């Protein structure tokens, strides 16, 4: 057990108070369930991109990747570096569809595309996926703090669950986004700090680099060995099932993109995140393992070789930080990062339960009622996630627990979403078969891996304890895909009219439906003006002809107005529709309701842009 003094605990407590207080401050922006779940679709790309870092890097990553980095070297970066292949599908397929169809949840899309029966199946599957993810987050927290506290892992999980539950229950999506924004910066800083301190500890970069073997430094693992970490298995488990699962069926992430002010901002957030923040993030989460290996080679007397793999991160942090303050900061950053992942998922579970389970049963209640239910569900999801930790604690490492989870939970949903969006021929009956038939064939594969999964094993040896942990994702995806395709070929698809605006083949119609009339795609500019409240104009906003021309806008087009201080990232903003022009140049007329919901500050200018 790592020895720490009261200073350590004071810093941990102060950090948590600060970061959770920062997020909770923004809870005052939650006025409706739309705000609680989607933050009113208002934020800029950079704010969402940074907050996604904390959601993705969040909980399990530091421990999980440090363990694999120590064991297998730079190939621990594979997971973060294989997401681009699916990005055309996401940026120009799924993202505009969820945005323009205004779906409240992924099951909501399933109802639009296939009907209520498939929606129920999808709700069940997606809740299972997210609760499992929450459980892995809690388990990580337990493993991070166990070497320091020496408590039983389940006691730690219970304490963490109570803190996370209270915070998310009252905070909502805006609190989540702002906590994650702060966390994103701090996590990257903490990760780079570990690397710098680690390099310094071993005596400089060239000593660090030369201490490691070429094999250790290769960025991709061996093609098919060992069975618990090989390239082909991880490609299918993580690069395919994991990446698609994260991008397409992680309700938490989808809600984050739906909080952007437009589809284009969502695209920018996703592209920037994958192109630049993920390569940085992978170094941030893995480097403790590389440094640990270097220390174990250069100064073996200082390295406890008996340490459990999931505790490598904590041991390295303890060794390289000469000051307890720095050690406490790093542990606090990682611990609070857990909140960033878990809070997103808890909020997402609440969104699915309220929109897909509760509202269809208890209809026509006021928004306050649903907001209250959302809070109760958030608390329940936290408790359920904490209980589910028992199952995932059976795996040797977090990496393997997560790998198994992705390989088994994601394929039916991923296949159903994918075929639903991109293949018009995919039928409702086929979607049901994908879930039920696919699950059955996956169960068969699990029971007889040596017969059913072996043909796809790429030469990977079967570990009888955990057979084909990763490459089973290929078998599972293929069987779900086959069932979906075969059943589609023998059943009747929906008509073009029935699928209007809900597949990639009719996105223009989705945009038209979103706006309520034909989109105006003329490129315009963004004027900065003053504003004033003028009553009697409903929810419309009015500009002078000069500004309308500047924005290339017409009456009836959609407009987005935000406080002109860019660093607010759209926190004070609103969407509206252009009303008839007035003759006061440099001024926008808005109603009191709009000014109130946008939280504009008197005397501050606003920036306006035509959406479509």
Which residues make up the interface to other proteins (CB under 8 A)? Answer: 74, 81-82, 84-89, 91-93, 96, 214-215, 217-224, 231-232, 235, 239-240, 264, 267, 271, 274-275, 279, 422, 504-505, 507-508, 521, 523
Smaller CB separation from other proteins, 311 or 610: 610
Find, among 390, 553, 546, 421, the residue nearest to 484 by Cα.
421
- Distance, in Å, from the CA atom of 575 to the CA atom of 377, rounded to the nearest integer, reads 29
Residue 419 CB, shortest distance to other proteins, in Å, is 12
Residue 336 CA neighbour count, 13 Å, CB half: 30
Residue 222 CB, shortest distance to other proteins, in Å, is 5
Query: Which residues does 596 contact at the CB level (< 8 Å), separation at least 6?
Result: none
Strand order in the sheet with 540-541: 540-541, 573-578, 558-563, 606-610, 528-533, 587-590
Q: What is the DSSP letter of 293?
A: H
Residue 272 CB, shortest distance to other proteins, in Å, is 10
93 with 421: CB under 8 angstroms? yes
480 with 434: CB under 8 angstroms? yes
Residue 476 CB, shortest distance to other proteins, in Å, is 17
Residue 479 CB, shortest distance to other proteins, in Å, is 18
- Distance, in Å, from the CA atom of 242 to the CA atom of 133, rounded to the nearest integer, reads 12
Residue 487 CB, shortest distance to other proteins, in Å, is 21
116 to 95, 119, 232, 359: CA distances (angstroms):
22, 5, 37, 13
Backbone angles phi and psi of 560, in degrees to 5: -120, 125
Smaller CB separation from other proteins, 364 or 523: 523
Smaller CB separation from other proteins, 13 or 85: 85
3 state SS of 395: coil
Smaller CB separation from other proteins, 128 or 279: 279
**Radius of gyration in angstroms for the set of CA atoms belonging to the chain, rounded to a whole number:** 25
Q: Residues of 340-358 as b/e, b for ≥16 C-beta within 10 angstroms?
A: bbbbbbbbbbbbbbbbbbb
Residue 524 CB, shortest distance to other proteins, in Å, is 12
Residue 410 CB, shortest distance to other proteins, in Å, is 16
Euclidean distance between the first and final Cα of the chain, in Å? 59
Smaller CB separation from other proteins, 81 or 162: 81
- In the block, tokens 């059976």 appear at 394
Tokens of 519: 């989109």
Residue 482 CB, shortest distance to other proteins, in Å, is 17
Backbone angles phi and psi of 610, in degrees to 5: -75, 135
The CB density around residue 21, as the number of other CB atoms within 10 Å, is 11
Q: Residues of 466-501 as b/e, b for ≥16 C-beta within 10 angstroms?
A: bbbbbbbbbbbbbbbbebbbebbeeeebbeeeebeb
Residue 181 CB, shortest distance to other proteins, in Å, is 23
Residue 507 CB, shortest distance to other proteins, in Å, is 5
């Amino acid at each position: 057990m790592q020895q720490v003094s009261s200073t350590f605990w004071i810093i941990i407590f102060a950090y948590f108070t600060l970061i959770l207080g920062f997020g909770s401050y923004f809870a005052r922006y939650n006025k409706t369930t739309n705000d609680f779940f989607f933050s009113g679709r208002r934020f800029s790309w950079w704010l969402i991109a940074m907050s996604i870092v904390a959601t993705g890097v969040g909980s399990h990553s530091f421990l999980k990747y440090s363990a694999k980095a120590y064991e297998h070297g730079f190939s621990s970066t594979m997971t973060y570096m294989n997401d681009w292949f699916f990005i055309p599908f996401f940026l120009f397929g799924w993202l505009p569809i969820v945005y323009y169809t205004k779906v409240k949840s992924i099951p909501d899309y399933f109802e639009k595309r296939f009907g209520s029966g498939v929606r129920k199946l999808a709700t069940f599957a997606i809740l299972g996926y997210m609760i499992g993810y929450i459980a892995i987050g809690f388990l990580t927290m337990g493993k991070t703090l166990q070497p320091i506290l020496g408590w039983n892992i389940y006691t730690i999980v219970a304490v963490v669950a109570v803190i996370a539950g209270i915070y998310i229950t009252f905070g909502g999506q805006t609190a989540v986004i702002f906590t994650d924004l702060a966390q994103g910066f701090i996590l990257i800083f903490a990760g780079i700090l570990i690397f710098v301190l680690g390099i310094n500890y071993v005596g400089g970069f060239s000593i660090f680099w030369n201490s490691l073997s070429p094999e250790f430094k290769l960025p991709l693992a061996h093609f098919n060995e060992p069975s618990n970490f090989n390239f082909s298995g991880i490609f299918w488990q993580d690069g395919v099932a994991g990446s698609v699962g994260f991008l397409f069926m992680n309700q938490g992430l989808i809600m984050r993109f739906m909080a952007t002010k437009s589809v284009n901002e969502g695209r920018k957030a996703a592209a920037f995140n994958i192109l630049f923040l993920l390569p940085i993030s992978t170094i941030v989460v893995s480097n403790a393992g590389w440094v640990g290996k270097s220390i174990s080679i250069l100064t073996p007397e200082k390295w406890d070789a008996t340490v459990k793999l999931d505790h490598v991160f904590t041991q390295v942090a303890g060794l390289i930080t000469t000051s307890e303050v720095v050690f406490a900061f790093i542990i606090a950053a990682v611990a609070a990062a857990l909140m960033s992942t878990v809070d997103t998922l808890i909020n997402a579970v609440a969104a699915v339960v309220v929109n897909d389970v509760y509202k269809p049963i208890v209809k026509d209640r006021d928004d306050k009622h649903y907001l209250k239910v959302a809070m109760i569900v958030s608390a329940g999801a936290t408790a359920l996630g904490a209980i589910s930790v028992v199952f995932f604690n059976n795996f040797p490492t977090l990496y393997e627990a997560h790998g198994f989870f992705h390989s088994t939970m994601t394929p039916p949903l991923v296949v159903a979403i994918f075929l639903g969006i991109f293949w018009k021929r995919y039928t409702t009956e086929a979607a049901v078969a994908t879930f039920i038939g696919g699950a059955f064939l996956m169960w068969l594969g699990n029971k007889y891996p040596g017969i059913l999964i072996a043909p796809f094993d790429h030469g990977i040896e079967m570990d009888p304890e955990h057979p084909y942990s990763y490459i089973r994702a290929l078998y599972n995806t293929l069987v779900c895909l086959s069932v979906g395709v075969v059943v589609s070929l023998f059943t009747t698809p929906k008509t073009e009219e029935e699928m209007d605006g809900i597949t990639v083949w009719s996105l223009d119609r989705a945009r038209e439906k979103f706006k309520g009339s034909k989109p105006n795609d003329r490129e315009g500019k963004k004027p900065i003006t003053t504003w004033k409240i003028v009553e009697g104009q409903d929810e419309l906003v009015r500009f002078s002809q000069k500004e309308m021309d500047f924005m290339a806008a017409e009456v009836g087009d959609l407009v987005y107005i935000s406080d002109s201080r860019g660093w607010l990232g759209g926190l004070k903003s609103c969407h509206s529709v252009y009303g008839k022009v007035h003759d006061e140049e440099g001024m926008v007329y808005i109603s009191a309701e709009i000014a109130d919901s946008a939280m504009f500050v008197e005397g501050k200018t606003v920036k306006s842009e035509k959406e479509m």
